[in-house]
Amino acid sequence: MNIHKNARLTPLRREEMVLSVIVGGFSKAHAARVYGVSAKIVARWVERYKAEGRAGMIDRSSRPAHMPQATAASIAERIMALRRQRWTGKHIAHEVGVSPATVSRVLKRAGLSRLRIGVQFWV
Q: For residue 51, give the nearest of 9, 18, 88, 73 by alpha carbon.
A: 18
Give the per-residue pLDDT at 6. 73
Residue pair 112/84 in contact (Cβ under 8 Å)? The answer is yes
Residue-by-residue pLDDT tens, the chain, 123 positions: 567 677 788 999 999 999 999 999 999 999 999 999 999 999 999 999 999 999 999 988 888 888 888 899 999 999 999 999 999 999 999 999 999 999 999 999 999 988 777 655 555
Q: Note the pTM of the prediction, 2 decimals.
A: 0.55
Q: What per-residue confidence (pLDDT) applies to 17? A: 96
Alpha helices in the chain (DSSP H): 11-22, 28-35, 39-52, 73-84, 89-96, 100-110
